[in-house]
Amino acid sequence: MRQLKAKDAWFVYVDTPRSRQAYMSAYVLVPDDAAGRLPDRGEITRWFEERAVLPVLRQRLVRVPLDLDHPYWVDDPDYDVGRHLHFHGERGWDESRAMVADISTEPMDERIPLWEMHVIDRVHGVPDTEGPAMLVVMKMHHAMIDGVGSSAVTTTLFGDALPRDVGGPTRHDRVPGSAELVVRALARVPRTVVDTVVAVRRARANWSALALSRADATYPLPPQGLTTTPLDGPVGPRRVLEAEHFSLPEVQEIKARIGGVTVNDLMLTVVGGAMHAYLVEQGHPPSGSLSASAPMSIRATGAGADSNNRFVMMIVDLRTDIVDPVARARAVHDAVIGERTRLGVPAEAAVAYVEYMFPGWVFRAVRRIRTWRGTDAGVRRPFNTFVSSVPRDIAEVRVAGTTCVHSFGIGPLDGTGVGHAVGAIGERLGLNTAADPELLTDSRRYSELLRHSYTELKEAAQQLVVR
């Protein structure tokens, strides 16, 4: 039995109907053989039963009553892969995307390890795909793993090779009862009280140190002041999903032509252009530049080595005040570099961890107070959207005689009405949109504008003289 670290526990505490703290990866798979045969449910079940053996997939969450202490990971004594597999019948492409959006809003079953696999047997009308395909959706709670860590899980679950060394034999922990957990928590009350007092003092000290650091800062600062838009929130519980795909070699050619930028910089540029154009069309032209939250891995620094979530969040100025897409891409790159520099400053890095310092009962109390006051619609964040990137170190995704031809993802909406996930499989790069349909009222048009923004960037890059 292992207790969750503060940052991992935070994802449990803030999981609400308005912001489910799980992220999903969806894979469109087509048959390998010329006959176009898709695997049956028995073959799919056997495939995952042979591979879903990693320790992280066998650990279930055990919460302490009233969140008096952080939860625990316990090896599930009744672990059964079949309880994690959910099969769905034949659907069209639009209906399948709607179903994936609905799945993202559902709470996860804490009686079993916090992952699910949804399989739609046959999907018709998938763009750029001949014949019916199969859609496999992997859903994992953020408390158990982050985007980088999920790559190892994906490689194991969707690879031809059967796993060998998975961390030793399966353990069969005893799941502690509520009374035992309360006794444990009460025994830690003096320490918890001290930790809370220290957390409050440390938070105040960190904010004071930040103010002093920024007073004469020699490093770039994040965007000062949010450019408010109708997409900012408050966020409701419903979701809509759209997916765009681009040629990865073509994106890499654009990157080479512009020079000095990354693929993620280009996707941030595309998102900024599309959001600005959408708001203008909707009659709400932004009064200033838009900004995005984006993850930055801290694995290379060794920080947070005992946590499942080893990243901090950047706030990137999307420079939507710049019309020329190439100039905007270069400015976005500079903004990303500036954020990486800023988060390397001790005072800035310390503040990034403030909200993870507090115990679960504090989050529970704050949520109750907000509900009582009618202010539980979420916290206004200092950015307009979220853009996550999935590392491209997964060469191939396969399931029982089928191969993935493209993928898309969906993550939490944390205080903003529209979020984006970037990822690549093979020669295709996906840019997915997840949104609250009450805020992004025309998701199809927005998806078209993502495509248009990408085309503008591509055409502008093609005009450059490559030396």
What digits encode the pLDDT tens for the residues 441-467? 999 999 999 999 999 999 999 998 766
Between vectors from CA 321 to CA 316 and to CA 323, what angle results, nearest 5°?
Answer: 115
How far, in Å, CA of 23 to CA of 9, rounded? 16
The helix or strand, by DSSP H or E, that contains position 317, with its residue range, turns out to be strand 311-317
Q: Examine the pLDDT at 310 and tell me if it is beyond 80.
A: no
Superfamily designation of domain 225-462: Nonribosomal peptide synthetase, condensation domain (3.30.559.30)
**How buried is 40 (Cβ within 10 angstroms: 0-12 exposed, 13-18 middle, 19+ buried)?**
exposed
pLDDT of residue 79: 95
Q: How many CB atoms lie within 10 A of CB 77?
A: 13
2-163+176-186 against 225-462: fold identical: yes
Domain boundaries, the chain: 2-163+176-186, 225-462
> Could you tell me if 448 and 426 are in contact, meaning their C-beta atoms sit under 8 angstroms apart?
no
Encoded amino acid at 56, one letter: V
For 361, which DSSP code?
A: H
Average per-residue pLDDT for the chain: 87
Most confident of 15-19, 266-270, 347-351, 403-407: 266-270
Q: Say which residue the tokens 């609400």 belong to.
A: 16
Give the model's pLDDT for residue 212.
Answer: 87
Whole-number pLDDT of residue 287: 94
Nearest-angstrom CA–CA distance, 329 and 341: 18
Q: Determine phi and psi for 134, rounding to 5 degrees.
A: -115, 140
SS3 241: strand
Cα–Cα dist 202/196, whole Å:
10
Q: Residue 372's pLDDT band (boundaries 50, 70, 90)? A: low
Q: What confidence tens digit (pLDDT) does each residue in 57-100 have?
A: 999 999 999 888 899 999 999 999 999 999 999 999 999 999 99
Distance, CA of 99 to CA of 257 (rounded, Å) = 39
3-state secondary structure of 222: coil
Structure tokens that stand for 362 in this block: 């504090």
First-residue to last-residue Cα distance in the chain: 59
**Does residue 375 have a pLDDT over 70?**
no
Instruction: Give the per-residue pLDDT at 78.
Output: 92
More confident residue, 275 or 340: 275
How many Å apart are CA 453 and CA 444, to the nearest integer?
14
Between 254 and 412, residue with greater pLDDT: 254
Tokens of 10: 């935070």
Confidence of residue 388 (pLDDT cuts 50, 70, 90): confident
Fold type of domain 2-163+176-186: Chloramphenicol Acetyltransferase (3.30.559)
Whole-number Cα distances in Å, 37 to 32, 92, 122, 133, 181: 8, 18, 10, 10, 50
Question: Which burial class, exposed, middle or buried, applies to 121 when counting CB atoms under 10 A from its CB (0-12, 13-18, 19+)?
Answer: middle
Determine which of 30-34, 408-412, 415-419 has the lowest per-residue pLDDT on average: 408-412
Please enumerate in sequence order all residues whose Cβ is within 8 A of that of 437, keeping only pairs 6 or more positions apart, or say none.
Answer: 238, 239, 240, 443
Radius of gyration of the chain (CA): 23
What pLDDT is recorded for position 409?
Answer: 81
